């Protein structure tokens, strides 16, 4: 991990208190024009936001993904979930993701760029993949959100595999899906802040 050293295995297996995450009261599903405008104003007023996407999983060999089916964007106090529905405008989502002045941070964003470009014609700009930047030169692969949360906060990020591989293209997402998706974006922003603070603390006085 750049600027800090840690053992991924020990952090993943440690008995830690749960990461509290963001609650339902601070999450909005963007399903109409009013919510889209509110999301646009809130997100563009920020300097940096958390970013993630979810896609309905594929199970058959050779089956092509039709995702992303949900895009999650988070400020400090609120997370906005954009269901991708055919025929619905993505103008506000495009304005946020293509803004060169707004930094978007997240984990494992490698496939998101191409999927958003090919399906929605959105060219994501100014993105930082925390999984890449935190791994450091001595590690292979990328650092995940669970390990980063354990390292920076001493807490355990609960991530259900069942929810993560659920149907994200469903017309109505359930409460567990909403919380899972929102926290993926929101926790990335919190890790980014913690990482920046650790870098500043390491600078000579």
All domains in the chain, ordered by first residue: 8-200 (3.30.420.10)
Q: Is the pLDDT of residue 11 over 60?
A: no
Average pLDDT for 98-110: 95
**Which two structure tokens, joined as six digits, stand for 94?**
């495009």
Q: Which secondary-structure segment (H or E) carries 19? A: none
Q: Using CA atoms, how far apart are residues 50 and 74, in angstroms rounded to an integer?
A: 5
Q: State residue 12's pLDDT score.
A: 52
Predicted confidence at residue 9, as pLDDT, reads 45
pTM exceeds 0.95 for this model: no
pLDDT at 10: 53
Name beta bridge partners: 71: 53, 82
d(CA 147, CA 139): 13
Q: Is the pLDDT of residue 62 over 60?
A: no
Instruction: Tell me what the pLDDT averaged over the chain comes to.
Output: 88
Helix (H, G, I), strand (E, B) or coil at 133: helix
Asked whether residue 2 carries a pLDDT value surpassing 60, the answer given is no
């Amino acid at each position: 991990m750049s600027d800090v050293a840690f053992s991924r295995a020990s952090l993943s297996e440690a008995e830690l208190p749960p990461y509290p995450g963001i609650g339902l009261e601070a999450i909005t599903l963007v399903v109409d024009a009013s919510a889209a405008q509110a999301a646009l104003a809130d997100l563009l007023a920020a300097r940096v936001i958390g970013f993630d996407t979810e896609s309905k999983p594929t199970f058959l060999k050779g089956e092509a993904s039709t995702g992303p089916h949900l895009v999650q964007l988070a400020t400090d106090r609120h997370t906005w979930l954009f269901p991708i529905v055919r025929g619905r405008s993505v103008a506000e989502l495009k304005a946020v993701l293509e803004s060169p002045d707004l930094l978007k941070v997240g984990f494992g964003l490698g496939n998101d760029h191409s999927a958003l470009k090919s399906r929605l014609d959105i060219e994501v700009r100014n993105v930082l993949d925390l999984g890449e930047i935190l791994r450091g030169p001595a590690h292979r692969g990328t650092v995940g959100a669970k390990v980063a949360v354990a390292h920076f906060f001493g807490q355990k990020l609960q991530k259900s595999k069942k929810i993560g591989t659920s149907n994200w293209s469903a017309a109505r997402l359930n409460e567990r899906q909403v919380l899972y998706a929102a926290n993926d974006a929101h926790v990335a922003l919190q890790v980014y802040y913690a990482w920046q603070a650790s870098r500043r603390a390491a600078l000579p006085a």
